[in-house]
Amino acid sequence: MFRACAICARGVTSRFVMASGRPSAKRTFASLTNYAIAAGAAIVLAVRGINHNYPKLVIFLFFAVALAALGYGALRYFKSSRAAILLENSPILGQPVRGRIMTGVDFVPEEAKITMRCIHEWRDFGGSSSVLDLFDRRRRSSRRMKETVWEESIAVPRQSLRGSHSGFSVPFEFTLPSDGHRSGYASDDLYRWEIETYADIPGVDFQCVFAVKV
């Protein structure tokens, strides 16, 4: 079965297999965290301005930025909260994978962009200053690194987008590389696959990422 958002779903809708009913949990949470951090930084600056007798207009602008960041983050989250991905077949290296993104958005844009990518993540250990550190990797400082090792994008025009009462959907088809990496760990390295959808619509743009197991 397919995994997305760390949730394994077993269900068939027509000839499609449900891969996920929610956006990628990691990416959505990270996005919300970024907006919350921005809002928190603006509030800290506003409080500092109050303590240091900054002009009232400057303090007001800091609070306005904080509210705007929180509001935009919430809108972006709720706009993609009803999205789902439906796969026609199991993603296998060297073979095409077809499916459809159900956006849950009523407005049909002029174009939607879908990108599928494979991301390589690994832990980079810094230089060692002692002999013991050479034999014990846990003693050394490290940071998580990542890079995109394969990526392909397609633009889907308006006439190919299917509109319905539950929102428009975006069809896609990608041919996976035969020499690519399967999802999961290879030694200490992690390879993961994701499908991202973006559409320019009124208000907050639609953007959603699904984790897919290959």
pLDDT at 10 (0 to 100): 29
Mean pLDDT of 64-69: 89
Record the tokens describing residue 114, joined without a space. 């879908």
Q: Judge whether residue 114 has pLDDT over 90.
A: yes
Q: Which of 26-40, 122-136, 165-179, 184-198 is the least confident region?
A: 122-136
Q: Is the dihedral of CA 66, 69, 75, 77 positive or negative?
A: negative
Q: Judge whether residue 132 has pLDDT over 80.
A: no
Q: Could you tell me if 102 and 169 are in contact, meaning their C-beta atoms sit under 8 angstroms apart?
A: yes
Ramachandran sector of residue 141 (left: φ over 0; alpha: ψ -120 to 50; beta: rest): beta
pLDDT at 116 (0 to 100): 96
**Yes or no: domain 3-23+83-212 corresponds to CATH 2.60.40:** yes
In the beta sheet, which residues pair with residue 152? 116
Q: Judge whether residue 14 has pLDDT over 60.
A: no
Residue 29 confidence class, pLDDT cut points 50, 70, 90? low
pLDDT at 200 (0 to 100): 93
Of residues 135 and 73, more confidence is placed in 73
The pTM (predicted TM-score) of the whole model is 0.69
| Nearest by Cα to 120 from 72, 180, 196 | 180
Q: Judge whether residue 129 has pLDDT over 90.
A: no
Q: Pick the most confident of 146-155, 177-186, 198-207.
A: 146-155
Mean pLDDT of 26-53: 80
Q: Please give the angle made by the CA atoms of 111, 191 and 20, to the nearest 5 degrees.
A: 50
